[in-house]
Amino acid sequence: MELSVKDLQRLEQSGYHREEIAEKGADGIWRLRNVEGHCVFLEPKERRCTVYIMRPLGCYIYPLNLSPDGVLVVDSICPAGESMTADERKKKAALLRRHLREIDSQARLK
């Protein structure tokens, strides 16, 4: 999951250390760490997010995503994807595009 500066700051203000929860790719983009095949914030036994209230924006937008060729897709592994309304998809699509532009812009600045 790609992270914006705002996502990282919000998590850091809650006591998390950037390098423990995220890693910076060669492309300059910060992403949530995976631990044993899942997000660092997933509580596997309970199957819940431990930072749900302050989760990164990309997690809020999920399961809507962009394919490598820029097409909007709903991740088929997420059962919640089937319940997304057309209106919700439209709103989240606009949010996703803005979020990714912001992340790309931030990566170029550093």
Overall number of domains in the chain:
1
- pTM of the full structure: 0.87
Condensed to tens digits (0 to 9), the pLDDT of residues 44-91 reads: 999 899 999 999 999 999 999 988 888 899 988 887 888 889 999 999
pLDDT for residue 109 is more than 90:
no
pLDDT for residue 102 is more than 90:
yes
Domain region containing 17: 2-109
Burial 4-15 (b: 16+ CB within 10 A, else e): beebbebbeeee
Condensed to tens digits (0 to 9), the pLDDT of residues 43-55 reads: 999 989 999 999 9
